[in-house]
Structure 1
Amino acid sequence: MDRCKHCGERSVVLDLSCGLRVCSSCGAEQAADNFQLQAFTSDGHALGAIVQSVGDFTYRDRKIRQADVQISDITSRLGLSAARAADVRAMVSEVTDGEFGVGDWFPVLVAACACIVMRRSHLPLAIAEAAATIGSDPHEVGRMVTRVIGFLGLDQIPEFDIFRSLERAVRTCPSLAGVDEERAEEMVRQGRFLLQCAVKWFLTTGRQPLPLVAAVASFVAEVNGVKANVEEIAKEIYAGSHTSKLRKKELMETLVKVAKALLPWGEDVTLKNVVHNAPLLFRCMEMKAKAGTLDMDRFSFGLERAFGGYLSCEGNDSVYFNKSIVSDTDAAGCKDIETVKLSAECLSRAYEKAMESFDAVEPSGESAKSLAKKRKMESARLLQPFISCISTSSENLSFEEILERDVGYDAPPPSFVAGLEARERRRKKIDAAKNRINKVMRPPSTELHAREDGLPQKRLKTTKRHKQDADAGTIDWEDCIIELLLLHQVNEEEIEEGHYSRLLDLHVFCSVNMDK
C-alpha cells in the first residue's frame, strides 16, 4: 500500500464507489498524477485497467499548462516550425519571468513574440497576419511588439522583407494556386525586379509594404497571363484592398512614364496597354541596368527575331513592300497617283475578283472569342524570350545598390510630388483670394469715373453670371482661411506651406486676445 500524505500510515485503499483513493486510517482523500483503476468481476477476476489522471496541480501549473496549449495553437496556425515555436515560448517565458499568464493579453503577447522571432530569422510574417490569426487589432499587436523589444533590450530588428513576402504570396495564395512551377518562378523573378524598381522610385518609403506586394503580385500575374484580382490577393495576404488598388494604379502610372522614356513607341503606351508592353519594358530596364546604356540596335534585333514572321512579307506581296525593286519610273508615277483616273469597268473587275477571293476562303468554324484567345496565346509565345529576361543576378541587392542602380528612369518620391502639387494648388487659391479681396476693397475704375462725373450709373450687363455663381459656389473652408490670413497680412510663403492651425494661433487668435 501507498503511504498516506496526511497521517503517514500505509493504509491508502481504493474506494470503488467513487473511484478515488482514500486513507483507511484517517479518511483523507489522496491525489496522484497517474494511477490505474482496476475493475474486477464478482469472482475477483480483473476486467481491465482504466488510466486516470487526478493531478494535484496548483494554479501556477494549470496556468503554464494552458499557456503552452495557447502557444502551440497560435504557432501552428501561423505555420511556424518546431524550432521557431520553441523560440517563441522561450521569449514569452523571458518576458513573463517564467510565469506565463492567462487572459486576453496573453495571445497578443504570443503573436508579438512570433513576429519578432520570424523577423529576426528574416522570414516573412506580417503583424496584420499575426493579428488576424488571434482575432486582434494590428495596432495592438504592433504596440506589444514595441514593448517587448524595449523590455528585452533587443537590437534593431531587421525590416520587413518584401521580397520573401512576394515569393510567399505567389506560391501560397489560393488565387495563384493553379500556376505551374516554372511560371511561378518567372513571376517571382519579375516581381523581385519590379519591387527593386519600386524601392528605387520611393514607392515603399513611409508606407505599409503589404499593399505594394499585393499590387506587384497582381501585375506580374497579368503579365504572365494569369487571372488574379488584386483585391483577392490583398485579402489573402491581409493587406488593405483599397490601398492595394491605389498602389497598383500608382505602379502602372510610373511604368507608363518609364515606357515613354525608354521604348521607341513609348508615347503610345497607356494604362490600358502597359501590361502588354511590360515584358519588353522589363527587357529594356534590365539591359539599361546591366550595361548602363540601352543599345537600341540590339533591342531591334531581338524584336526582329521574335516578330520576323509578322514583319516580313512572303510570296508576290513582297514586291509592294520592297523599296529596292521599285524603278524610278514607278516612283515618279507614284507621285502623280492622285491624278490617275480609273474607269468604272476596271473598278468593277477588281471588286468581282476580290469577292471571288473572299468566297474561296473556307470558314474555320472558330468563334471570334476563340480566335482572339488564339492570337493572344500566339503573342504570348512570341514574347516568351522577353518575358524570361530578368536575370538572377539582381536578386540579392542591398538598399544602397538598389538606389544606385540605373533602370532608365529616376522618379522623385510621391510625397515630394504631392507636396509640390499641394503648394501649387495653394498658390492658386491665394491668387484667387487676393482677387476677391481686391474686388471688394478696390471697385472697378469705370464705376468710379461714372460717380465722379455725376452721370447716371448704368447697370453693367453680366454675361457670365452663371459662371460667377459657379465660381462662388466652389469656395471652401480653405479659401475662407486663406482670405482671413491675407487680411491679417500673413506672409504668402507661410500660407503656401499649409500650416493653417499654427498661423491662425500666431496671427488671428493671438491678436484677438491682445485686443481684449
Structure 2
Amino acid sequence: MSCTSCWSKSLTHDDISGNLICASCGTVQSFDNFDPQTYGRDGPIGTYIHVGSAGTGSVLNYKDKKVYESKKLIDEYTYKLNLTGQRSVDVKNMINKITEGEFGLGEWFPILIGACGYVIMRMENKSLPLGEVASVLNCDVHELGRMVTRVVEFLNLKLPEFDIVIMFEKVFSNSKLSKLVELERDKLEQMRQQGVFLLNCAVKWFLTTGRRPMPLVAAVLVFVAELNGVGLRIEDVAKEVHCVLGTCRKRYSELLEALVKVAQALPWGKDVNVKNIVKNAPFVMRYMELKSREKKKEDREGLKCGGVDFDDVVRECLEKDFEYGIDEDKGRKRRRGFERSACREWWNGKSEMSQKLMLKKILEKDVGLDVMPPSFVNGCMANEKRRAKINSAKVRINKIMDPSRDNDNVASSECVLSGKRKKRKRIGEIDWEDFIIEMLLLHQVKEEDIETGHYNTLLALHVQL
C-alpha cells in the first residue's frame, strides 16, 4: 500500500490508536481505522481501551503525540548545535510556520531543524558553518544546503552577506587544538589580527569569490600559525572545521602564490618562491601593512608631504632588516635569513585591514597586489584556447576544400594553451572538441558563439543530428 498523501511506502501501525500512519508525512490513512465495539444484549456498550492508554485513539491524539516527539527532536538537535534559549524557540516557531503546525517525524525533519538553525544564525550575523551542521546531523552537506534554499525561498527571506572574518574569529577562539590553547593571550591576539588581515587581502584578491569560505579559513589559520612558529598540521585543522583536506591544501597553495606575487616588489623579490615564502612572510606582511596604511595620491598631495615616495621608505626600512653579513665558520659573505626570535617588531596591527571591514572598503585598500578574479582569468584562457582550436579547424577545412593551397606551414606553427604552459600541437592530433568545432564551422555558426563553449546548445540549434 502507498500513502494517500505523499505516495510513500513507509506505512506503520500506531500501537496506541491502531491506525495506519505514514512515517514520512504523518498522514492517517483512510478506511483503515476500524474501531472495534463491544456489544451487549441491549446494543454497543463502549470502545475497548488498551491497557496503559487513554482516549479513543483518535487522529487528534496522534497529532499531539507527533508534535510532542517533534519538539523533543528540536530540543535535542538545537542543544547539539549550541542553539539554546531563545534561538531554540525561534527554530520551533520557524518550523511551526513552515509546516503549518504539523511538524514531522520523517528522515527529512532533522535536516529541516539544521537548516532553520543555520538560517537563524545567518540572520543574526553569527557564524554556523554548514559543514558543522551536517556533521552533527550526520547528513550530506549538499542536501542540507538544498533545504536551506527551500526555507529561505518559502519564508521569502534575504540572508545577509557571509562574513568570513566572523567565521575565522569563531574557529580561532573556539579551537580545541592543543598548540593554540597553550599560547599566551598576547600571542593569540597578534595571530588573530594577522589572520584577519590576510583574510581581507584574500577577499581583495578574489580568493573567496564563488567558493566555500571554510577551506580558506583553514588555510589562513595554518599559515598564521606557521608564521609565528606554531606547528599546526593542515590535516588537523581541516578535520576541526569539517572541510575536505584537498580543498584546504589548494587554498593554502593559492595563498602562498599570491604572497609570492606581492614579494616581487621587495629588493630580493626575485628570489622569493612558494618554498621560502614563509621565511620572507614577515617582511612581505610588513610591506603589505604599510601599503594598506598609505594615503591616496590625492590625499598626499593635499597634505603637501614634500614629495616623499612611500615605496622608497618601505624599501629602505626592509633593507635595514635584511642585510648581508659574514659567515664566521666559512668566512664568506652571506645574506642573513629571518630569525623568528627577533621578529616581534615587524607587526603592529595598526592597519584597518586587521579589522572587520565592508567589501567596498577592502577593495579601496592597496596591499601591494591587484589581481583579476581567478574565474575571469580562467575564462579568458579557455576562450583563448577555443580561439586557437577554431583557427586550426579553419586551416584544416580550407586545406580539404582547396588542396592547392599550402597550409602546412601555417598548421605546423599553431599552438594551443594547456594550463599555464604552451604546448606545440602536432599535425593530425585532434580530439572530440576539434571535431565539434569543425562541424559548427561547416554549419555557418558564428565564431563568437563557438568561443563561448556551449557546444550542446549550438549543436541543438544549428545541427540536425
TM-score of the alignment, normalized to the shorter chain, above 0.5? yes
- Residues 102-137 of structure 1: CA deviation (Å, up to 9, x unaligned): 121211111011101111121111222212211112
Alpha-carbon separation, structure 2, partners of 1:287 and 1:140: 45
Counterparts in 2 of 1:298 and 1:434: CA distance versus 1, 3 Å: same
Task: Judge conservation of contact 1:211–1:247 (CA < 8 Å) in 2.
Answer: yes
Deviates more, 1:242-251 or 1:403-412: 242-251
Partner SS, residue 223 of structure 2: helix
Structure that is richer in helix per residue: 1
Which residue is equivalent to 2:364?
404
Identity of aligned residues (%): 45
Which residue is equivalent to 1:102?
105
Gaps of 5+ in 1: 1-27, 34-56, 318-353, 358-374, 447-468
Alpha-carbon separation, structure 1, partners of 2:428 and 2:76: 60
Task: Judge conservation of contact 2:266–2:315 (CA < 8 Å) in 1.
Answer: no
Which residue is equivalent to 1:12?
none
The answer to whether 1:217 aligns with 2:172 is: no
AA in 2 matched with 1:222: E
Which residue is equivalent to 1:491?
446
Larger Rg: 1
Partner SS, residue 72 of structure 1: helix
AA in 2 matched with 1:253: E
Normalization by structure 2: what TM-score?
0.72
AA in 2 matched with 1:295: F
Deviates more, 1:280-289 or 1:179-188: 179-188
Counterparts in 2 of 1:416 and 1:300: CA distance versus 1, 3 Å: closer
Which residue is equivalent to 1:87?
90
Alpha-carbon separation, structure 2, partners of 1:179 and 1:392: 28
Task: Judge conservation of contact 1:116–1:145 (CA < 8 Å) in 2.
Answer: yes
Alpha-carbon separation, structure 2, partners of 1:470 and 1:397: 48
Task: Judge conservation of contact 1:282–1:389 (CA < 8 Å) in 2.
Answer: no
Task: Judge conservation of contact 2:67–2:103 (CA < 8 Å) in 1.
Answer: yes
Task: Judge conservation of contact 1:78–1:130 (CA < 8 Å) in 2.
Answer: yes
AA in 2 matched with 1:138: V
Which residue is equivalent to 2:310?
295
Which residue is equivalent to 2:380?
420
Task: Judge conservation of contact 2:193–2:349 (CA < 8 Å) in 1.
Answer: no
- Residues 456-511 of structure 1: CA deviation (Å, up to 9, x unaligned): xxxxxxxxxxxxx98357421111112222333433332222222232223322xx
Q: 2:339 aligns with which of 376, 379, 386?
A: 379
Task: Judge conservation of contact 2:193–2:354 (CA < 8 Å) in 1.
Answer: no
Normalization by structure 1: what TM-score?
0.65
AA in 1 matched with 2:212: Q
Which residue is equivalent to 2:436?
481
Which residues of 2 match residues 199-218 of structure 1 at below 5 A? Answer: 199-218=203-222
The answer to whether 1:185 aligns with 2:171 is: no
Task: Judge conservation of contact 1:179–1:226 (CA < 8 Å) in 2.
Answer: no
Which residues of 2 match residues 58-457 of structure 1 at below 5 A? Answer: 58-154=61-157, 156-175=158-177, 177-178=180-181, 180=183, 181-260=185-264, 262-292=265-295, 295-300=310-315, 302-303=317-318, 306=321, 311=324, 379-389=339-349, 391=351, 394-443=354-403
Counterparts in 2 of 1:416 and 1:470: CA distance versus 1, 3 Å: closer
Alpha-carbon separation, structure 1, partners of 2:79 and 2:66: 20
State the shift of 1:381 in Å.
Answer: 1.8
Alpha-carbon separation, structure 2, partners of 1:502 and 1:153: 33
Alpha-carbon separation, structure 2, partners of 1:412 and 1:404: 14
Gaps of 5+ in 2: 1-48, 55-59, 297-308, 407-423
Partner SS, residue 386 of structure 1: coil
Alpha-carbon separation, structure 1, partners of 2:70 and 2:258: 49
Alpha-carbon separation, structure 1, partners of 2:101 and 2:234: 44
Counterparts in 2 of 1:392 and 1:484: CA distance versus 1, 3 Å: closer
Partner SS, residue 216 of structure 2: helix
Task: Judge conservation of contact 2:114–2:144 (CA < 8 Å) in 1.
Answer: yes
Task: Judge conservation of contact 1:288–1:408 (CA < 8 Å) in 2.
Answer: yes
Which residues of 2 match residues 456-471 of structure 1 at below 5 A? Answer: 471=426
Task: Judge conservation of contact 1:482–1:495 (CA < 8 Å) in 2.
Answer: yes
- Residues 157-206 of structure 1: CA deviation (Å, up to 9, x unaligned): 21222111112222334445445133332222112111111212222222
Alpha-carbon separation, structure 2, partners of 1:304 and 1:32: 85
